[in-house]
Amino acid sequence: MIATQKKQLSKKLSESHTLGQPLSNSTCRRGQPPFIQLTLLFITLIVFFIYATFFNQPFFVFITIGMLGCLFYLVPLRYHLVMKGAEAQLQVQDCHERTNLTHSETHQEGEVIEAFRKKIVSYSKLKVLTEELSLCLTLDDTSKTLSSEANKLLGGRETTIILYLFHSKTGVLGISSSRKGQLRVNIKSKKGDLFDQWLVKSMQPLLVEDTKSDYRFDIDKIVTEDARGIRSLISAPLMVGNKALGILRIDSPKEDYFTTEDLRFLATIGDLGAVAIENAQLYERVEQLAIKDGLTHLYLRRYLMERMPKEMSRQLRCNSQMSFFMMDIDKFKRYNDTFGHMAGDIVLRTVGILLMDFFKQPGSLVCRYGGEEFAVMIPDCPKDKAVELAEKIRQKISKQTVLLRREKTQVTISVGIATFPKDAQMKEDLIHKADMALYKAKNEGRNRVCVA
């Protein structure tokens, strides 16, 4: 057992000498006999030597025996001390290795803690972004908030943030918001440039560290499409499920400005923004359904009642007049009875489209008042001008051919007109006066215009 340990220790010693790691001075001092003992032994031998030389020469025999005994004692002692020193040196090296491992583990744990700290900071920023987006109801407010918060999280003074959205009907990509720093900026490529087109095709996050060295894009085309200096960019699609809503992009005139971590963070911002944008679109759609008729796409009577008092107050301040039309489709029941209720819907939709196309004056409001009745509010319009407009739209509708079950038919309307404040000063009275004028037109034979 002892011999095996000695062999292992000798092997470690040879390895340490091979690696060029000499024993330290303290180890060498521990491997030598104590200085006082050697001095006393040396003095004793000198005294014996002098005594044997001058007084008793046979005493050399005892000196020789003593020296041999010292040799037999010192050699194992020397070996033992050397082995102890080597063992101590190995223990010191082992302690150094453990210290290095401890330092390495501490460094790794520090990096992990720092990474967690950054994630906590990022999540707290995302929490603020989520709270800000939750306060936005309209699509315009949501777009501005998303681009502004993205600029705070990832942007800078020289970076440009662009939010593209797909049009709900045409599907064409268009700019919803663009800013450079805290200021709005005008972007020439309204439908996106080469980078945006690439992302539309792939619908994957895009990181370009240097536009001049990226093999995926043609530098010449990039320069001719937009005069802005773009050297690096990150871009992420805005998607909810499989539905693409738009693109959120940040570009910089400096190369290597963005990292993979920035792209990952932008993708997370894009996910939150996509949900907020979809909610805003749904809110606007619900709001439109609440104030617009689903068949004719005209405003409903409830919205007209909300708008009229405000417009009447404005007319009084401006010392102007506002005309109000009440219209009714003549003999509407005949279309339903002859061609069915689907034909009645076609007639209503046709008249609604003609009214929307005709009354395009600023502030004008066309609504479906109920059933086959329509109402039109025209600000800054005196009675004589209102009569002229009503006669034109009556003639235009009467000349319109409507195809019902492959049969060509004509539609006529009767119109009643009342003017504020000449005919009435309250909205209820104004509607009543226009309604009475409409009944007058009906009683006089329909397809005509009457005034209050």
**Hey, which residues are catalytic here?**
372
Unique residue bearing structure tokens 């040879």? 14
Distance CA 422, CA 439 (A): 20
Distance CA 26, CA 33 (A): 13
Unique residue bearing structure tokens 């009342």? 418
Distance CA 397, CA 352 (A): 10
Instruction: Please name which of 273, 307, 277, 294 lies closest in space to residue 375, comparing C-alpha atoms.
Output: 307
Residue 162 gets the label, from left (phi > 0), alpha (psi -120 to 50) or beta, of: beta
Secondary structure (3-state) at 379 = coil
Distance CA 389, CA 386 (A): 5
Secondary structure (3-state) at 228 = coil
Strand residue runs (E) in 273-390: 299-300, 322-329, 365-370, 373-378
Under 8 Å between Cβ of 253 and 231? yes
Distance CA 304, CA 373 (A): 13
Cβ contacts of 293 within 8 Å, gap of 6 or more: 299, 300, 352, 367, 368
Instruction: Please name which of 260, 267, 298, 446 lies closest in space to residue 377, comparing C-alpha atoms.
Output: 298
How far is CA 104 from its chain centroid?
Answer: 37
Q: Is the dihedral of CA 239, 240, 246, 248 positive or negative?
A: negative
How many other C-beta atoms are found inside a 10 Å radius of the C-beta of residue 338?
13
Distance CA 27, CA 281 (A): 81
